[in-house]
Structure 1
Amino acid sequence: MSASEIVIRHISADEFDIFQRIRLEALRAEPSSFASSVEDWEALSDAEWRRRLSDPVFVAFRGNEPVGVMGLLRQRSSKMAHRATLIMVYVRKELRGVGLAKDLLDTVIAYALSEGIVQIELVVSSENPKAIGFYRREGFSQIGRIPGGVVHDGKEIDDIMMARRLTR
């Protein structure tokens, strides 16, 4: 399966069931990679799932099946509206290494630029060297580290903060 067989699109609040499927899959498949737990999200009402789609969420589809997701959380303050945070990044395991994460990121960046966003930031687990390497290859630089940023299974894990300036 190649990334060329994948369609990526910005989903709407009316498609919260698709978002729910891929987000819960991500949290179950990679629990140590996210600040949220699957239990946090399973407890959400349908209205809350819809509300969370008020910020842009991009889903990769293979046919009708969601296989990847990336979200963008724009800063709300007018003095910071040129910045956004990349969130909920996930690609199904069998599709890693085929360029899908890059395609998702390129889609998110194109959207961000169209909205006047010129800087994307993210937080990634220090225990996820593949993700850190991907972000570095895509032009992100480490800008900080939060010691013990999350606690997973009783273990404190550092968060790596990264940022990338965007250009057209």
Structure 2
Amino acid sequence: MHIKHLEQGDVEIFRSIRLEALNREPQAFASTAADWERLSTEEWRERLTTNAVFVALDEDRPLGIMGLMRERASRLAHRATIIMVYVRDEARGSGAAHHLLTHLTDHAHASGVRLLELVVRADNPTAIRFYAREGFHEIGRVPGGMLDGDVEVDEILMARHIDGRTPSALQGAPR
């Protein structure tokens, strides 16, 4: 397995793993497969180049994906949100998510990002445990933040400084 930072020419790799994620784990994402299936190739390319997108590959076969969406406002540009996280069932437990996060974090740090943030469904204990092991702390909760059909599901907000320090606001945050 190796990790690749996708570029403009990698639209088909991006499209295949993103649509797979949205179809196999629809409850995990704010977007739906239908939202993405109607995009033109140019719109796929724009989304790929607007955000940093990494894939775990077994030879040329994508096993997982993780993206980084950076804040644009100058006073928030030190922050970025982890998005589009997905690892195929057969690659779970292989370290793929850890390797994706490591590459994404290295890229973020080199780009001047200091604080990584993410949102995870409260009913996804596996993901919550993974992020906690990776140094993320719960910093808040959005009650009913996501709709799963007609059911409101709480979202947990998590964050981690990547410059080696833990800000005081995160030190006492519940896990």
Q: Same fold (TM over 0.5)?
A: yes
Distance 1:60 1:8 in 2: 4
How many pairs align?
163
Residue 167 of structure 1: how far off its partner (Å): 2.2
Equivalents in 2 of 1:76, 1:145: separation in Å? 24
Query: Root-mean-square deviation (CA), in Å?
Result: 0.9
Q: Within 1, Cα distance between the matches of 2:9 and 2:96?
A: 24
Partner of 1:118: 114
Match of 1:47 among 42, 46, 70: 42
**2:97 alignment counterpart:** 101
Structure 2 distance, partners of 1:138, 1:167, is: 14
TM-score by length of 2: 0.91
Q: TM-score, normalised by structure 1?
A: 0.95
Runs of at least 5 residues in structure 2 that lack an aligned partner in the other structure: 165-175
- The residue aligned with 1:26 is 21
Aligned residue in 1 for 2:169: none
Q: Once the two structures are superposed, what CA deviation does each residue of 1:110-137 show, in whole Å capped at 9, x if it has no partner? A: 0011101110000011111100000001
Residues 28-79 of structure 1: CA deviation (Å, up to 9, x unaligned): 1111111111111111111110000121100111111111000000000011
Identity, in percent, stands at: 51
Paired with 1:134 and 1:122, the residues of 2 have a C-alpha distance of 12
Cα distance in 1 for residues equivalent to 2:150 and 2:115? 33
Structure 1 outlier segments of 4+, above 3 Å: none
2:108, 2:160 → 1: CA distance?
A: 12
Q: Give the Cα separation in 1 of the matches to 2:120 and 2:158.
A: 8
Residue type at the aligned position of 2:114 = V
Higher RCO structure (Cα 8 Å, ≥6 apart): 1
Counterpart of 1:108, as a letter, is L
